[in-house]
Structure 1
Amino acid sequence: MRVKIAIAAVLLVLVSLFAVQNSQVVEIRLLMWTVEISRALLIYLMLVIGIVIGWFMRAIWRLSRNARQQ
């Protein structure tokens, strides 16, 4: 468990360094909407979305595994 926490901490530091070095404002277009946000915020947002998707996929995997075992 400590190894996972250490790896997560290192990855968080690397993402933070990458985001800070890419702080320019970018324009995001989706269909008819346009939003200007900093690239660092976009990087963090994509990281959070990836983590949430990973948690959901793991939960679905566990539920299906438990259903097969019963």
Structure 2
Amino acid sequence: MFADRYERGSVLITSNLPFGEWGTIFQGERMTAALLDRLTHRCHIYEMNGESYRFRESMKSKADKATKPKK
């Protein structure tokens, strides 16, 4: 799939793993290196290290339920 899209169209990928750990997901270090080479050629990398929005909302929901009076 990535080879077909290479230099023909946009690809958006999100991950909670740093590039160094991608070898554990794909078929070995060589395959991962080839994939990253193509993905990072002419790309924009945005690294976000903030708190998860979903986690924050989940914790807020649990706190609201805990303080809500029972009927």
Band of TM-score, shorter chain: 0.3 to 0.5
Q: TM-score, normalised by structure 2?
A: 0.37
Greater RCO (Cα-Cα under 8 Å, separation 6 or more): 2
Q: Which has the higher helix share?
A: 1
Q: Which structure has the larger Rg over C-alpha atoms?
A: 2
Answer 1 or 2: which has greater strand percent. Answer: 1
